[in-house]
């Protein structure tokens, strides 16, 4: 979770692997990544896989 503001949370939305909390005016306050460990490991794995050198 990353707190972006100290304003009050009005509602939240869950688009897939994320939960986003918003103010009454629709400003984002608190994004959350569900199952963050798997998300981060998958992200780094894809970076390593994409930049892996292949022998000629």
What pLDDT shows up at residue 24? 93
* pTM, full prediction: 0.60
**Structure confidence by residue, pLDDT tens digits, 5-30:** 888 999 999 988 889 999 999 999 99
Token code pair at residue 24: 């009454």
DSSP secondary structure code for residue 8 in this structure? P
pLDDT of 56 over the 70 cut:
no
pLDDT confidence bin for 53, thresholds 50/70/90: low
What pLDDT shows up at residue 14? 93
Asked if residue 34 lies in contact with residue 41, where contact means CB atoms within 8 angstroms, the answer is: no
Specify the pairing of strand 18-22 against strand 28-33.
Answer: antiparallel
Domain segments of the chain as ranges: 11-51
Token code pair at residue 50: 């994409």
Q: Locate tokens 């994320």: which residue?
A: 18
pLDDT of 54 over the 60 cut:
no
């Amino acid at each position: 979770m990353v707190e972006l503001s100290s304003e009050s949370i009005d509602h939240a939305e869950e688009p897939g692997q994320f939960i986003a909390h918003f103010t009454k005016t629709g400003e984002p306050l608190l994004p959350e990544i569900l199952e963050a460990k798997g998300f981060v490991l998958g992200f780094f794995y894809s970076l390593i896989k994409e930049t892996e050198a292949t022998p000629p």
